[in-house]
Amino acid sequence: MRNARVTALVAALAVGSTMALAQNAPAPAPKKPATQAAPRPPVAIVPANPPAAPPPAQAGEPGTFNDKQRALVTKVSNYLSGVQTLVGDFVQVGPDGRRTEGQFFIQKPGKVRFEYNPPSPVEVIADGKSVVVRDRNLATQQLVPLSQTPLRFLLSDRIDLMRDTNLVSVAADDTFVTIVIEESQTLVGTSRLMMMLGAKDLQLRQWTVTDPQGFDTTVAVYNLDTTKKPDPQLFTIPYQDRPDPR
């Protein structure tokens, strides 16, 4: 069960990447006037069931999604493909209701780092091949192959969501475009990744990962910067520190 939770965590990360909360939370607060300090954005927990949308496409059943939905997916795919580096802040709500914050760094292809603010000792690193969840206090780390998480789609140089993923839902309103992807792994089961992007700018706003046990983790991102070049050393996994599995 813990392996499945970790897989769900690193999937959520990305840009995103631990666990789940199925309670409602306040929607993101409107921006304050420039003369006032802007508050940290609250995490809006999305519904357990995404907005109604056609079922996933099956072999021999083209056209499951309508033209408008396909156009939205193409725009989201182009956005994700166009982002090669990304730096920002995040707020995460786990299945136990715990709220944590930190910074993240992305360098495509395949590299991401999530640093949680104290007192959390956790950091998550993907180096292009593996994803590791490290606990600095306990000096432990757990490795998951990047190829076994949906994170590989989000960190690839180019992504066509319609072609490269199991896309199960596409919906939009005046605020968000919502894309839902399911990923099945033989050993850990099926997880779900729900991405929410701004309806006007298609910028990534938040995502929710539902692990095979049904636990949700929601992450909201803000202060995004696509111009900064992260230090390559941020994505180094110290494999020699991996504990003895016995």
Strand bridging mode 122-127 / 130-135? antiparallel
Predicted structure pTM score: 0.74
Q: What is the DSSP string of 93-141?
A: E-TT--EEEEEEEEETTTEEEEEEPTT--EEEEEESSEEEEEETTTTEE
Residue with tokens 């396909």: 70
Contact between residue 179 and residue 76 where contact means Cβ atoms under 8 Å apart: yes
Q: Which CATH architecture has domain 2-25+53-225?
A: Clam (2.50)
Rounded CA gap, 170 and 168, in Å? 7
Tens digit of pLDDT at every position of the chain (246 positions): 444 444 444 444 433 332 222 222 223 333 334 444 444 544 454 444 544 444 444 333 444 899 999 999 999 999 999 999 999 999 999 898 889 999 999 999 999 999 999 998 889 999 999 999 988 888 888 888 888 776 777 788 899 999 988 999 999 999 999 999 988 877 778 888 899 999 999 999 998 988 888 899 899 999 999 999 999 999 999 887 654 444
Give Dmax over CA atoms of the chain in angstroms. Answer: 57
Looking at residue 64, what is its pLDDT?
82
Looking at residue 114, what is its pLDDT?
93
Rounded CA gap, 226 and 201, in Å? 14
Rounded CA gap, 165 and 153, in Å? 8
Q: For 86-107, give one letter per residue: b (16+ CB within 10 A) or e.
A: bbbbbbbbbbeeeebebebbbb
Give the DSSP H/E element, type plus range, for residue 170.
strand 166-172
